A and B are shown apart, each in its own frame.
Chain A
Amino acid sequence: MCLGVPGKVIEVDREMQIATVDFWGVKKEVRLEVCDAPVAPGDYILNHVGFAIRRIPPEEAAETLALYDELLRLADEQDLMTADVRAELDAAPDATRSPKVAPDESQ
């Protein structure tokens, strides 16, 4: 429960203090009010129980992500660390906000 889980910031709603964050392809809403620094799209954050507790600069993310890549790749439901990471993902609600950017017309 101390582990948290890192994700990539896609969009930031400064007024509501909420970021849309991509965790291994799953988009979640994460609250920003306890984060240590302002975040922008492209940054990574560490999510703990639905709150970003730290901004992770993009250049430092790879090192942090490696452990989680392995835990989620193994996808062993019985594993305590994997279960911890999954619980941290479940802590953040699915992103349901409509994107502010107009959708790509070509799609």
Chain B
Amino acid sequence: MNPSDAFAQMKFRDPKRARGLRDALERLVQGADHAPVSVMHVCGSHEQAIAKFGLRAAFPQELQVIMGPGCPVCVTDVPEVDEAVALAKQGVRIASYGDMLRVPGTSQSLADAKAEGANVDVVYSVTQAVDLAREHDEEIVFFASGFETTAVATAAILVDDPPDNFSVLSAHKYIPPVMEIVAEMPETKIEGFLAAGHAATITGSAVFEKFVERHGLPVVIAGFEPLDVMAGLVKLLEVINSGEPRVENAFPRCVTREGNVHAQKLLWRVFRPTGGRWRGIAHVPNGNLRLRDEFAKYDTRKRFTIDASALWSYAPPKLVQQCQCGDIMAGIASPSDCQLFGKECTPDKPVGACMVSAEGTCRIWHQYGGRPDLRSMKRGAA
């Protein structure tokens, strides 16, 4: 392989622009008064694009692009999974997005409960869960996961008069508050954040302005094309080097400062932010989205007495104790730092939540390889 073809091989639509952006990254990292420069993104789709298109091979060696808590399924905490498993084992029919089935609870996942005969349906949308409720007389619980982008869909369903046998067990999460937590973790040394374009489509870029004020760390919103990601990183490094932290929107074709105000109103009409643990990370004030009292009749937690204590009598298997998902989601460790990664822990037999979900760092690295060693090619191409 001709090393100068490295960029063509990386499937850039516009290799010339890709080279320009890579050169800009090199220049900006050299222009920083320290090394390495560490930035964090908080979106599984960003990590997929970075890993799939081999972008880390094009990044300067001194630039660390770390995935943070960007996988809503992965950060769903054990007690939340236990609630769904306990309900399923009580005979309640559960509908959820596919990745949620294999996320481990204290002793069982929803998939385990299903294997034992519980009634668990995989749906692709909350609308399909409502359709199930319309088609059947029994109670249907929608175990809802996802960040604000997905929570808006759940909200739209709840204001649209769903059937009485439908309820929502919300494990929805809100991204801005967890950025505050990760920014303050002394181990992470994060100098700036790349925010997810489509979540920002809903929230607008303004939602990050207070964060920047409080933490002095810049936020740049970026899209999901390989070139969008690189352009976002160039902008982020420019802002870091300028010494004037601010919010920049590198994805203007999708994101405005105000965002989708109509969707925000819908989101906050149905949900209230409340504190709760994110798996492996920390208690995140205002990080969980729960149904407001006005929608209590659709709130699974108000509708059922959920007793998960029967699930707690098992000691966690030894492998789980070695799992490093928490540190990986906080950006302190990489999947390759975990001794289970690719050995005892694989997509077929996941130990931790990060290997379960298609948006989990470990799952993504397992499929694409997280740090393809193309650096020699890149040097050759330079």
Contacts and interface: CB of A to CB of B under 8 A. Distances in A.
Interface stretch (B2-10, B43-51, B241-249): B43-51
A42 interface: no
Contacts of B266: 33-34
A10 interface: no
B260 A3 contact: no
B225 A2 contact: no
8 contacts: A1-B150, A2-B359, A3-B45, A34-B152, A34-B153, A51-B156, A64-B254, A79-B52
Contacts of B98: 87
**What range describes how many residues of B lie at the interface?**
35 or more
Nearest to B360: A80
A14 B198 CA distance: 25
A81 interface: yes
Given A2-B149, A70-B11, A33 B52 contact: no
A34 B262 contact: yes
B127 interface: yes
Interface string B313-334: 0000000000000000000000
Interface in B99-156: 99, 124-128, 146-147, 149-150, 152-153, 155-156
A27 interface: no
Interface string A4-44: 10000000000000000000000000010111100000000
Contact of B52 (A34, A49, A80): A80
A55 B49 CA distance: 23
Given A53-B263, A91-B125, A2 B45 contact: yes
B201 A53 contact: yes
Contacts of A34: 152-153, 155-156, 260, 262-263, 266
Interface in A69-83: 70, 78-81, 83
B224 interface: yes
Given A36-B263, A70-B11, A91-B124, A2 B156 contact: no
Given A1-B72, A3-B224, A51 B152 contact: yes
Contacts of B198: 2-4, 46, 48, 53
Contact of A53 (B13, B225, B260): B260
Interface of A: 1-4, 31, 33-36, 46, 48-51, 53-54, 56, 60, 63-64, 66-67, 70, 78-81, 83-84, 87-88, 90-93
Nearest to A70: B11
SS of B interface (majority): helix
A48 B150 contact: yes
Given A3-B224, A81-B49, A49 B126 contact: yes
Given A1-B150, A34-B263, A53-B202, A80 B48 contact: yes
Contacts of B359: 1-2
A3 B127 CA distance: 19
Contacts of A36: 201, 259-263
Given A2-B149, A34-B266, 4 more contacts: A49-B153, A50-B126, A51-B125, A51-B153
A67 to B, nearest CB: 5
B43 A50 contact: no
A93 B97 contact: no
B25 interface: no
A64 to B, nearest CB: 7
B265 to A, nearest CB: 10
Question: Which are the 5 A-B pairs with shortest beta-carbon distances?
Answer: A50-B125, A91-B125, A91-B124, A36-B260, A2-B45
A46 B254 CA distance: 10
Contacts of A81: 45, 48-49, 52
A47 B222 CA distance: 18
A88 B225 CA distance: 17
A4 B266 CA distance: 19
Nearest to A69: B13
A87 to B, nearest CB: 5
A92 B125 contact: yes
A87 B155 CA distance: 20
